Amino acid sequence: MIERYSLPRMTAIWSETSRFKKMLDVELFACEALAKLGKIPKASLFQIQKRARFDVERIKEIERETNHDVIAFIKNLSENIGADAKYVHMGLTSSDVLDTALSIQMQESCDILIDDIKKLMRILKGKARRHKKTLMIGRTHSVHAEPMTFGLKMVLYYDEMSRNLERLKRAREVVSVGKISGAVGTYANIDPFVEAYTCKKLGLKAARISTQILQRDRHAEFVNAIAITGSSLEKFATEFRNLQHTEIGEVEEYFSSTQKGSSAMPHKRNPILCERIAGLARILRANALVSLEDIVLWHERDISHSSAERIILPDSTILLDYMLNKFMDIVSHLIVHEDRMLENLNKSKGVVFSGRLLLELVNKGLTRNEAYDTVQKAAFKAKKEGLEFKEALLSDGDIRSVLSEKEIEEIFNFRYHIKNVDRIFRKAGV
């Protein structure tokens, strides 16, 4: 991933040094296991542990000759270890090392993402509580529907992120698996004890069964959990972008005193961070599709998945880490124009209370169809004549024959629409 969208902690996990360090850990623990089985002399194990080291540039140099990264890695280790290097990688195949090391990288990156989500959820919870009773209009089909509160939007996002948190926790468990079972998964040249020992030391579970590789449905679940989380962020960011429309103006991204919005129009204050989130989410979804394609391999293994994974796994984890942190900043500094929310709520002149009026007429004995037609007629008349809906109702003989002025007045009480806000907050754990 390009530096612009990368944060140091996540990027470090996917560096070449980190990758080779994890591969070395796999090799060393496998040697320990083999020594416990009496396959490697203790003195040789001591020398391997003491002298094993690698140099990334030297590995690259060897790979240019061998065209095989694991062989280049083993050869570089051998150069440093000496004669006892003959015991390194004994009975293993390349993917025993590569896949197990990759699982550690995914596990560590998932830990960062889980931590990010928890932080974002805390921010969303705080914003929800602050705006628990901040009235605004709810919209369906982009049209005024019924009154709600801005806090309810934030609770909705908090609840969705809690599901994303659980998805990533499950994905972490699914990918926290290693394998050291040989060329086609039969343990022909390696004792299963080596796999069990090495995986335990690395904080992984041993796969119940594998071929030459770990099966890629695991990796696909991981990348798809990331893509779903990114899509949630895009959903939230898109709502903020919509609410920042000049004609709506209910929320606004923070805009610093030195920030510029347009090279041609000095007045512009654009929701660029939310737009960035929306764009990057597309990459996560595209990567998710690639991860699904990677599930299908020929026989016990080919390497059509390998080249793609070298891109999509680092890029997806690095991107989501960046997006989560950037969205934390967006929510933390989001400007909420409560006065504009109230102004917009009143723009439809009270017709948004038509649903309650419908129910009141039904309660008075009208059939639902009669009540619906009566309310719709009054609402359309009010809109056509530019009247307040309450005013139209008070002058409507059909409605006044059923409802008193006091009853009509009560229909326009905002408290009716937010009476269950506390209950919703409790259900969401906010």
From the list 141, 299, 401, 404, the catalytic residue is 141
Instruction: Give phi and psi for 137, each to the nearest 5.
Output: -90, 135
Sequence-distant (6+) residues with CB within 8 A of 369 are: none
Separation between Cα atoms, residue 292 and residue 220, nearest integer Å = 6
Q: What is the pLDDT of residues 226-285, one digit of tens each?
A: 999 999 999 999 999 999 999 999 999 887 778 787 778 888 788 899 999 999 999 999
Q: What is the pLDDT of residues 12-23, one digit of tens each?
A: 999 999 999 999
- 3-252+269-342 shares its CATH topology with 351-411: no
Report yes or no: 90 and 40 within 8 Å, Cβ to Cβ. Answer: yes
DSSP conformation letters of 164-198: HHHHHHHHHHHH-EE----SSSS-SSS-HHHHHHH
* Beta bridge mates, 149: 135
Class of domain 351-411: mainly alpha
Give the pLDDT band of residue 223 (cuts 50, 70, 90).
Answer: very high
Q: What is the pLDDT of residues 125-175, one digit of tens each?
A: 999 999 999 999 999 999 999 999 999 999 999 999 999 999 999 999 999
Q: What is the pLDDT of residues 287-320, one digit of tens each?
A: 999 999 999 999 999 999 999 999 999 999 999 9
Mean pLDDT within 3-8: 96
Mean pLDDT within 189-200: 98
Question: Domain residues of the chain, as ranges?
Answer: 3-252+269-342, 351-411
Sequence-distant (6+) residues with CB within 8 A of 377 are: none
Report yes or no: 26 and 96 within 8 Å, Cβ to Cβ. Answer: yes
Residue 141 annotated in active site: yes
Output the CA–CA distances (angstroms, integers) from residue 302 to 72, 277, 419, in the order listed: 20, 35, 60
Report yes or no: 234 and 279 within 8 Å, Cβ to Cβ. Answer: no
Selection from 82, 80, 76, 52 nearest residue 63 by Cα: 76
The pLDDT assigned to 268 comes to: 78
Averaged pLDDT of the chain: 95
Q: 342: helix, coil or strand? A: helix
The pLDDT assigned to 398 comes to: 87
Cβ atoms within 10 Å, residue 242: 15
Separation between Cα atoms, residue 330 and residue 418, nearest integer Å = 26
Assigned architecture for domain 3-252+269-342: Up-down Bundle (1.20)
Whether residue 423 is predicted with pLDDT greater than 90 in this model: the reply is: yes
Q: What is the pLDDT of residues 344-394, one digit of tens each?
A: 999 999 999 999 999 999 999 999 999 999 999 999 999 999 999 999 999
Q: What is the pLDDT of residues 13-56, one digit of tens each?
A: 999 999 999 999 999 999 999 999 999 999 999 999 999 999 99
From the list 68, 245, 262, 304, the catalytic residue is 262
